[in-house]
Chains A and B, each alone.
Chain A
């Protein structure tokens, strides 16, 4: 299986992610909409995605946690708005508590996920729209912080491993 490039661009309050996959559109659709498959890839390592409930239909939602290596939990709520089978689905993503109560202080993102068959390949486009440019920047700032934190954790791990071998 080839590794394809992930293209990301930002314009004002919108973020666009595009990626080609070497699999038919039916399979991509399933990976996004079947909870068992979704939880297997949604969280980047070493985090784990754990879905508490998911109703994939217009007006339905998904309540899930991103679980960190030390058991820390970040909860997310996805509301599904429109679904066109094997083509696209749209909705909103919010941060929430474990009961699914949305956090009003953090930005809500509208998303549109599009799937386009290209022979045996599929082109996936993820459009994320924030209420304002400031909201997008707030999310980015959070991402930066998380990225740095993870980098430091890796460093800690590496340092302790090195120390262990020296001792």
Chain B
């Protein structure tokens, strides 16, 4: 099954893992220690994230390091861009309208 960024972020544990990886890469064991669940469970989430293409895993000796693929994550931002444009456009006009009404009230 093909997985994408939206599968990746649909789970709170996976979102937390992504947040941990934001500042620096982490080895899988260290990552597992941060969660109140079995290593195996965390490991499955890591594998899932890898399949979604949002992280890559690199082996160094015995350690496995997870790296965030930030470029892949920006897909989400782009995905919501039409909504962003729609609401920003509306709200800018609403700001102006509200500002105008309040100024008029003060003048009275």
Contacts and interface: CB of A to CB of B under 8 A. Distances in A.
Interface of A: 1, 3-4, 6, 8-12, 15, 17, 19, 21-23, 27-28, 31, 37, 40-45, 126, 133, 140, 143-144, 146-147
A129 B85 CA distance: 19
Interface of B: 6, 10, 79-99, 101-102
Contacts of B93: 40-41, 44-45
A41 B101 contact: no
Contacts of B94: 21, 31, 41
Contacts of B79: 10, 140
Contacts of A27: 98, 101-102
Given A9-B80, A40-B97, 7 more contacts: A1-B95, A1-B99, A6-B87, A11-B10, A21-B95, A41-B96, A45-B93
A8 B84 contact: yes
B82 A140 contact: yes
Contact of B87 (A8, A9, A11, A146): A8
Given A8-B84, A140-B82, A31 B91 contact: no
25 contacts: A1-B99, A3-B95, A6-B84, A6-B87, A6-B91, A8-B83, A11-B10, A12-B10, A17-B83, A19-B87, A21-B95, A22-B95, A22-B98, A23-B99, A23-B101, A23-B102, A31-B94, A41-B91, A41-B97, A44-B86, A44-B89, A140-B79, A143-B82, A147-B81, A147-B85
